[in-house]
Amino acid sequence: MATRLGTQERRASILAAAAELFAQVGYHRCRVSDVAARLGVTEPVVFQNFGSKSALYAAVLDDAAETLTTRLRRYLDEGHPVTELLDEILAPGHLNHLHSTGSPGALFADAISLTAEPDVEAAARRGMRKVAEALTAVLAHGQTTGEVSADVDPATAAWWVLSLMASHRFRRAVMPNQKRMEAGIATMARAALTDR
């Protein structure tokens, strides 16, 4: 006999399946019936929990943003050096992973282009603002430890770093000698933020 999931557990399982599918194939190619099939439920179950495909995608983005901000906060709470975080997030390998199919970066990259879906666009904006706020706190902390230059505005720097991350797909598509150039961009960004 199958165990019936509670409302929170059901929503969490739908979100997890939807996040995986949306990140793999994108908003337009993913159908709600694909999410339902992944879970072994009917399509109406998904709609009963989220109302629409765009509301489901917005919830996936909200969840992804919460996960990213939690990771940034945990980084600070565990006492890792801010420069270590900068090296990690600006590393070409990390940027390649962030923009690969199936990653949270793929979700946000897809969402930014969905201007015809107000729920999704609003969730993408909300999520990126939340991540920027968490990254701002990390950079401000880096100033208190002397790792981040005192003349850097943490909020501006956070948005600049996120812009560098977001534009990686463009650079990968058109930039010659990508490996060397990406390493140079990471080195320049770190030096601009840390005076090193």
Is the pLDDT at 2 greater than 60, yes or no? no
C-alpha Rg value of the chain to the nearest Å = 19
- Tell me the average pLDDT across 182-196: 90
Position 3 confidence tier, pLDDT thresholds 50, 70, 90:
low
Structurally, at CATH architecture level, domain 53-194 sits in Orthogonal Bundle (1.10)
| Burial zone of 127 (CB within 10 Å; 0-12 exposed, 13-18 middle, 19+ buried) | buried
How confident is the prediction for the chain on average, in pLDDT?
90
Is the pLDDT at 8 greater than 60, yes or no? yes
119-142 tens-digit pLDDT: 998 999 999 999 999 999 999 999
Q: Which residue has the higher pLDDT, 42 or 169?
A: 42
Q: Domain segments of the chain: what residues? A: 53-194
Three-state secondary structure string covering 155-175: HHHHHHHHHHHHCHHHHHHHC
- Tell me the average pLDDT across 151-180: 91
Position 30 confidence tier, pLDDT thresholds 50, 70, 90:
very high
Q: In this predicted structure, what is the pLDDT of residue 116?
A: 82
Q: In this predicted structure, what is the pLDDT of residue 102?
A: 76
Half-sphere exposure of 117 (CA within 13 A, CB side): 20
Does pTM surpass 0.85? yes
